[in-house]
Structures are given as C-alpha cells and as structure tokens.
Amino acid sequence: MTTSSTSTLNGNTVVIFGGTSGIGLAAAAQATAAGAKVIVIGSDEGRAERAAIDNGLHGWRAADVTKSETIDAVLKDIERVDHLVLLAGSFVAGKIVDSDVGYLRRAFDERVWSAVHAIRALGDRLAEDGSITLISGALADRPNAYGTAILASASAAMEALGRGLALELAPRRVNTISPGPIDTPILSRTLGDGRDAYVEGLKKNLPLHRLGTAAEAGAAVVFLMENGWMNGATLNVDGGARLV
C-alpha cells in the first residue's frame, strides 16, 4: 500500500466534490493516508463535517453543484489545488416521454456543468502539473430501457469532456473513472427496500459474482491522481460488468 513517504501526493492539496460518502470518501481517506491535504465538498453540511472529522481530513465544504455561485464560494479561499476530483451526481432516472425535463436536466447540471464551473472557478489556481478526475459510469457503455437514457448520455458526455479537456488544459492531466456496480450508499438510496433482491440478482450475472467496493473504486481515483502518465483516459472499474 502506498505510504506518505513514497507517494507523489505527499503535501499536495486535493479537492474532492462528492467526497463525503462512497467512492469520494474512500478516495479522500486513501489520499490522506498518502500524505495529501484533502478537502471534501458535499451537498450536506453535517455529513461533510462528519466525514472530515471522522477520517482526519484537512477540511470540508458544502455546496449545491448545480449553482455556479456556490461552487465559486467554496473554492475562493483555496490558494492552490494540485488535484481536482469531480465525483458529484445523483441517480437521475426517468423516461423522457413522461418525466419532468427540469429534473432530467440535473444529470448534466450535476456532472458536465458543475465540472465546467469548478474548473473555471479555480482557473490558474489549478496546478499546471496537477490533474482533474471526472466520473462517468457503466451506463455510458451499457444503457438500458429503464429510464436512464439521459443519465447514460451525461455519463458518456463526461468521458468526451475528459478527452477534450486533456488537450485544452494541457499540461494538466484529465482522466475519467467509470465505475460499474459499486456497493455505496447511493445504491440503497436509489433502490430502497428492493436493494437486496436487486443485488443478489445482479451478482449472478457479474463475472466476479460480487459488487465492487468503494475502497476499490477510491483506489482507482488515487491511481489517476498519482500516475503522471495517465491522461485523456477512461478507467473502467467495473469487475468486467460492461462485458456481459
């Protein structure tokens, strides 16, 4: 396991949007263990504060990522960011013929446009030798017929955005992580009482017959921050789920 004495993250400032639970929190804890000063940003103040205190993080903030002014506010006093990680986003699901368009638009607002606003807000304070990590998801490769067309398109857009920004923001590195089925709190919030039955059925079809863990996906985020030769890539962390 990487230690703070050998990690390239040692002494770096890392800002993680969506860092108060799940993959983001796992990445925050691992980056902190590697010597980084990690600031997590979430939608709920209480949860953000608890995450920071419980995991020994450098700091925390709360912001509505669909509003550019709140993104500006939480980033304005950070002098330099070495690694920006943008993992925020809820599970926006609804068929386009009968769902509220304003609701469906959140899939892009929480992902594409929040990334744009955060990058613009930081400007030159984002280190030239630093990185940006975006998030897409398995739906970008395997959409389904259950009201996820807009979310799938937003996920695919994040991957295209990452490739474009790798050129536009060079020499800063930009990569995208694409998680498959990961056992995180968002799964329970999305599925409610049907979670366990859904997960058991899913496991039977997955190549590894299990869900991934937040720690495994978080380690992939840390890898993208640390590895200076990763750029313009989409890293699938899905246990081979996209193959079946």
Residues pairing with 13 in the sheet? 37
Continuous segment of H or E residues that includes residue 187: helix 185-191
Q: What is the CATH number of the domain that holds 93?
A: 3.40.50.720
Residues pairing with 112 in the sheet? none
| Number of domains making up the chain | 1
Tokens (6 digits) for 52: 């920071």
Q: DSSP character for 241? A: G
Provide the residue range defining the domain that includes 109.
Answer: 13-183+213-239
Q: Is 47 inside a domain boundary?
A: yes
Q: Specify the residue for token string 């890293």.
A: 235
Q: Is 23 inside a domain boundary?
A: yes
pLDDT tens string, the chain, 244 residues long: the values are: 444 457 899 999 999 999 999 999 999 999 999 999 999 999 999 999 999 999 999 999 999 999 999 999 999 999 999 999 999 999 999 999 999 999 999 999 999 999 999 999 999 999 999 999 999 999 999 999 999 999 999 999 999 999 999 999 999 999 999 999 998 877 777 667 777 887 888 899 999 999 999 999 999 999 999 999 999 999 999 999 999 8
Residues 87-105: b if buried by 16+ CB within 10 A, e if exposed: bbbbebbbeeeeeeeeebe
Q: Is 206 inside a domain boundary?
A: no
Q: DSSP character for 145? A: S
- Which residue stretches of 57-148 are H helix? 68-75, 101-108, 114-122
Q: Is 139 inside a domain boundary?
A: yes
Is the backbone of residue 209 left (phi > 0), alpha (psi -120 to 50) or beta? Answer: left
Q: Is 24 inside a domain boundary?
A: yes
Q: Is 191 inside a domain boundary?
A: no
Q: Is 27 inside a domain boundary?
A: yes
> What is the rounded CA–CA span in Å between residue 128 and residue 169?
9
| pTM score, whole prediction | 0.94
Query: Are 133 and 86 spatial neighbours (Cβ–Cβ below 8 Å)?
Result: yes
Q: DSSP character for 154? A: H
Whether residue 143 has a cis bond before it, omega within 30° of 0: no
Q: In the prediction, which pLDDT does 5 show?
A: 52
Q: Is 71 inside a domain boundary?
A: yes
